[in-house]
Chains A and B, each alone.
Chain A
Amino acid sequence: MAIIDPRHAAKQLVYERIFRTATLSAAVLVLLILGGVAISLLRGAWPALHHFGFAFVTREIWNPVTDEFGALAPIYGTVVTSLIAMLIAVPTGFGVALFLTELCPPLLKRPIGVAVELLAAVPSIIFGIWGLFVLAPVLQRHVQPWLIEHAQPIPGIDKLFMGPPYGIGVLTAGIVLAIMVLPFIAATMRDVFDTVPAMLKESGYGLGATTWEVIWHVVVPYSRVGVVGGIMLGLGRALGETMAVTFVIGNAHRISSSLLAPGTTISSSIANEFTEAVGALYTSSLIALGLLLFIITFTVIALAQAMLRRLEQRVAA
């Protein structure tokens, strides 16, 4: 039996304190980073916000020559591209999740699941060059002319698909974004669907429901909070995505009713112009755009996390 050496015990206590403090500081550092992001963006954006006031977010003008900047066009582009992305990616992601949880033969479940997750690991710049060199020409030649021709006679819709088919533009950016966020939405929804107790589903089948009826009337209502959380997590990604959009949006600071026209988003404006921005007000305006993006995405992601957490707690209970 070893004799406890008091000096050894004291040394252990010191190590314990050091280790505990180190882990605690690391945890606190995570909070400090978020705080630091908010403060540094506010500080950088202050000259522009002070100079333009609230009009910064309501004006479309973006003129580096006369030093006049307004964020309306990037905000519009960010919202519209994300909206297009969600319109495509939500039903598709739902379909993928449904297939993986309910339909897929067990043998294929893992490979397909991994393939979807690998799509999420592909860096965004790859989606960008693929979108520019592969997707945009296809859209330009085959899809956009068709859209222009068939939207013509429909009042209201015709405004959305006007003008020459550039290939790049708001619609193309939305489609590339959809492909990018699809794996996130599909993976989250799959995990959420997996939380539904088998008993509930079997009860549905026992009553004679079809697979679709079980999904729509049992699985979805049970996991609703998580489904919405997954969608919003995808939305958060879409709103802040930079490189994929920068390649295919066309970088034009104007608001056009046509989805085929080039536009800009908050993140692609920053990526395209930041290193070339001359003048304090120009740089500050771009940082102010970053601040707007930070506020928007932080709100969306925080809401998404809160919802996913609520589902988790309910499952645990």
Chain B
Amino acid sequence: MNRRAFRKGKNGAFLALSLIATLAGLACLAAILWTLISHGLSGMSLRVFTEMTPPPGSEGGLLNALYGSAMMTLLGILIGSPIGVLAGTYLSEYGRDSRLSTVVRFINDVLLSAPSIIIGLFVYEIVVVTLGHFSAIAGALALAVLAIPVTLRTTEDMLNLVPPGMKDASAALGAYPWRTVVSVLYPAARSGIVTGLLLAIARISGETAPLLFTALNNQFWSTNLNAPMANLPVVIFQFALSPYKEWQDLAWAGALIITASILILSISARVVLALMQVERGSGQ
């Protein structure tokens, strides 16, 4: 074989391999979604949304788990995202190049990829051990800790995207930096910050490991934040590994609900961002 043919052949082989790799990745996504839909739909019924989690061997729904997940995710976001947004504001507006900001940025990126089970152990040590019992508030705090790095990162990135001219114009009118941030930068970066919130909700609503030993689980309806609370991921974990058909069906239904909501959230986050870019493009 001459050298030219060899090089062309090698090129073709590697490009074919990269195509196969991409197809394999997409096939995995398709396989997972297909399994979820086919198994999940067969376990889905109105009862899933109207009845409590059943004892072994009988039928029921996921209402308490859905409520618990929504509640703890909401609380987690309410606690975590203001901290993330404020810290992101500091990094972008006050201490952009300071030593502190460099360190915070670095630590935040580490927290962003840190194993969530470690965060669960941390909250267990701080809250559960102190209070002496598992509770929904401990679960919400664990989720809040996970939400902070996501919102911090997007807030900083989005504030950095606001044209400096707007900031200068506000300063020229005599506004203090806080006024500029609140009245000019936040509105300008609004869709970006909303994207961050959506991504944070998507991130924490599927988390299982940190809830295992903070919120634990609860077979019954409970709205008490100071007591263990049912939540979808832990119920899926428990039910999927059980030998009971009814429980497994509910686990699949729950898995479908959780994945569908997260994918919808992630896609809407992208749509919001794309709309923002269109807006900006036409404004210039």
Binding site for B on A (CB under 8 A): 4, 12-13, 15-16, 18-20, 22-31, 33-34, 36-37, 40-41, 43-44, 91-96, 98-100, 103-104, 112, 114-119, 121-130, 132-134, 179, 182-183, 186, 210-213, 215, 233, 236-237, 239-243, 246-247, 267, 270-271, 274-275, 287, 290, 293-294, 297-298, 301-302, 304-305, 309
CA–CA, A112 to B125, complex, Å? Answer: 42
| Cβ–Cβ < 8 Å partners of A115 in chain B | 26, 29
> Which listed residue, A26, A36, A129, touches B236 by the CB 8 Å rule?
A129
CA–CA, A115 to B17, complex, Å? Answer: 19
Q: A36-B126, A125-B236, A241-B115 are in contact. Are A24 and B22 (CB under 8 A)?
A: no
| Cβ–Cβ < 8 Å partners of B236 in chain A | 125, 129
Contact indicator A130/B29 (Cβ below 8 Å): no
Q: A22-B86, A134-B35, A212-B14 are in contact. Are A123 and B24 (CB under 8 A)?
A: no
Task: Report if B244 contacts A (CB, 8 A).
Answer: no
Contact indicator B206/A34 (Cβ below 8 Å): no
16 example contacts (A-B, Cβ-Cβ < 8 A) are as follows A15-B179, A20-B177, A26-B83, A27-B95, A27-B101, A30-B149, A34-B110, A36-B126, A40-B121, A40-B125, A116-B25, A242-B116, A242-B209, A271-B209, A297-B113, A309-B106
Contact indicator A183/B25 (Cβ below 8 Å): yes
> Which listed residue, A121, A213, A236, A297, touches B262 by the CB 8 Å rule?
A121
Given contacts A23-B94, A44-B129, A236-B113, 6 further A-B contacts (CB under 8 A): A26-B86, A95-B21, A98-B14, A118-B263, A297-B114, A305-B106
- Contacting A at CB under 8 A, from B65-95, are 82-84, 86-87, 89-91, 93-95
Interface size on B, residues (CB 8 A): 92
CA–CA, A28 to B104, complex, Å? Answer: 7
Contact indicator B267/A118 (Cβ below 8 Å): yes
Which 3 A-B residue pairings sit nearest by Cβ, starting from the closest?
A240-B115, A123-B206, A95-B21
Task: Report if B208 contacts A (CB, 8 A).
Answer: yes
Contact indicator A129/B240 (Cβ below 8 Å): yes
Contact indicator A31/B103 (Cβ below 8 Å): yes
CA–CA, A113 to B100, complex, Å? Answer: 34
Contact indicator A123/B118 (Cβ below 8 Å): no
Contact indicator A247/B241 (Cβ below 8 Å): yes
Task: Report if B122 contacts A (CB, 8 A).
Answer: yes
Contact indicator B122/A118 (Cβ below 8 Å): no
CA–CA, A92 to B255, complex, Å? Answer: 27
B184 CB, nearest partner CB in chain A, Å = 14
Interface segment out of the listed B5-13, B44-52, B55-63: B5-13
Q: Which of B124, B208, B252 has the most CB of A within 10 A?
A: B208
Contact indicator B125/A43 (Cβ below 8 Å): yes
B3 CB, nearest partner CB in chain A, Å = 12
Contact indicator A41/B115 (Cβ below 8 Å): no
Contact indicator B262/A99 (Cβ below 8 Å): no
Q: A30-B108, A302-B110 are in contact. Are A267 and B117 (CB under 8 A)?
A: yes
Q: A30-B107, A132-B240, A271-B117 are in contact. Are A125 and B208 (CB under 8 A)?
A: yes
Task: Report if B218 contacts A (CB, 8 A).
Answer: no
Task: Report if B194 contacts A (CB, 8 A).
Answer: no
Task: Report if B237 contacts A (CB, 8 A).
Answer: yes
- Contacting A at CB under 8 A, from B208-265, are 208-209, 212-213, 216, 233, 236-237, 240-241, 251-252, 255, 258-259, 262-263
Q: A37-B119, A212-B15 are in contact. Are A126 and B113 (CB under 8 A)?
A: no
| Cβ–Cβ < 8 Å partners of A134 in chain B | 31, 35
Contact indicator A31/B8 (Cβ below 8 Å): no
| Cβ–Cβ < 8 Å partners of B17 in chain A | 95
> Which listed residue, B24, B111, B129, touches A34 by the CB 8 Å rule?
B111
Contact indicator B107/A270 (Cβ below 8 Å): no
Contact indicator A117/B104 (Cβ below 8 Å): no
Q: Which of B82, B122, B174 has the most CB of A within 10 A?
A: B122
Contact indicator A95/B18 (Cβ below 8 Å): yes
Task: Report if B171 contacts A (CB, 8 A).
Answer: no
Contact indicator A240/B208 (Cβ below 8 Å): no
